[in-house]
Amino acid sequence: MSKYNFDEIVDRKGTNAIKVDALEPRYGNPDLIPMWVADMDFKSPPCVTEAIIERAKHGIFGYTNAYQSYYDSIISWVNRQHDWDIKQEWISFIPGIVKGIAFAIDCFSTVDHKIIIQPPVYHPFRIIPTLHHRIVVDNPLKLNSGQYEMDIEGLKNLIDPTCKMLILCNPHNPGGRVWTRQELIDIAEICYDNDILVISDEIHSDLAFAPHKHIPFACVSEKAAQNSITFMAPSKTFNIAGIISSFSVIPNKEIREKFYAYLESSELESGHIFAYLATETVYNHGERWLTELKDYLWNNITFVDKYLKANIPQIKAMLPQASFLIWLDCRKLNLSQKELNFLFVNDAGLALNDGTMFGQGGEGYMRLNIGTPLSIIKKALENLKKAIDAKQIQY
């Protein structure tokens, strides 16, 4: 029997939630159904709310160090969830994974260096290096039987001595791919042999759906361990992104010392009371909530897939192997990207992410966030069907 109510509709308006309160400035309509920003519309686990309230009763919120039970909770969680044995000295708090990527770029590259990404991919992977005046090099993913694969040969062919970093989305966003061990080993070999540091963003790692299992990049080989920085967080898993609770894991001593010295030089490694508390709480007490969440998410995913096949066959869902995001292939609608966005926003009243923001290969796609009650998903898909039927778009 379910212990948690993921069907509950929680009104987020007026809470300064980007997903809801930024609809008008971004889309021009505050009343769209928000299915874009990658946080969920479910209440976080009760244990974290209770822990924060209890701590707040103390009434003093002074400077706070990371403490032993905080580290222990991370080490235990990563071991239980991902079969990766990490050590305390490998770990540091970071104030957000995108910020961590920016710090790594600044620390380990210069303006004449190239950063490799594999589009279509989470858009900050392109934005952050570009804003730091690095050269971004695309190694586009390949579509095979409805899922993405890494282009290993393409990676080998594009490398030159100025390539200094590869940013890996593991699991993949927006496609939801859980990479195989062999794919990760291949990346590790190539990057190690060419002195290219791998930055592995593993924020969706806890949300892999059976039979798929997330594999941390750094544990696939010694070359991977000695040539990588891994970023993780409980934020997507437990819907606590606003608490800012990310952390890095770096097995290699030389890389670790250089990066952590960089963080410490500006006190960027210093977390806050509720970051430490929330992380420890959800990792120690949130496992049952996560199990039920994943069951609910998978039901949402299968509902979307079945609904599209039965009612909107022009749109095909790429079933995610991890995460609460679905990559929608809308190319058979035969619309330009501008027309596609108009269809979703103006005709259907939906706010999704435009596929082109994820770079090369995103044309004709939209990203759908299904981390919301099923009733909202049903309403959204009904709106979309009516909008398409009204335009008389034929399959």
| Residues 92-109 pLDDT 10s | 999 999 999 999 999 999
| Residues 140-181 pLDDT 10s | 999 999 999 999 999 999 999 999 999 999 999 999 999 999
If you average pLDDT over residues 110-121, what whole number do you get?
Answer: 97
How many helices and strands (H and E) does the chain possess?
A: 15, 15
Per-residue pLDDT at 217: 98
Record the pTM: 0.96
Residue 395: band (very low, low, confident or very high) from pLDDT cuts 50, 70, 90: very low
| Residues 248-307 pLDDT 10s | 999 999 999 999 999 999 999 999 999 999 999 999 999 999 999 999 999 999 999 999
| Residues 67-97 pLDDT 10s | 999 999 999 999 999 999 999 999 999 999 9
Per-residue pLDDT at 52: 98
| Residues 337-366 pLDDT 10s | 999 999 999 999 999 999 999 999 999 999
Q: Which residues pair with 367 in a beta bridge?
A: 327, 353
CATH of domain 60-285: 3.40.640.10
CATH class given for the domain over 18-45+287-389: alpha beta
| Residues 12-49 pLDDT 10s | 999 999 999 999 999 999 999 999 999 999 999 999 99
Per-residue pLDDT at 393: 52
What are the C-alpha distances in Å from 211 to residues 33, 255, 325?
Answer: 32, 34, 18
Burial of 60 (0-12, 13-18, 19+ CB in 10 A): exposed
User: Residue 105, Cβ neighbours under 10 Å: how many?
Assistant: 23
If you average pLDDT over residues 114-143, what whole number do you get?
Answer: 98
* Average pLDDT score, the chain: 97
Domain ranges of the chain: 18-45+287-389, 60-285
Structural tokens at position 384: 């979309």
What are the C-alpha distances in Å from 192 to residues 71, 139, 169, 223, 346?
Answer: 29, 17, 18, 6, 48
Q: How far apart are CA 281 and CA 52, in angstroms?
A: 9
Residue 394 pLDDT > 60: no
Per-residue pLDDT at 387: 97
Residue 208 pLDDT > 50: yes
Pairing of strands 163-169, 197-201: parallel
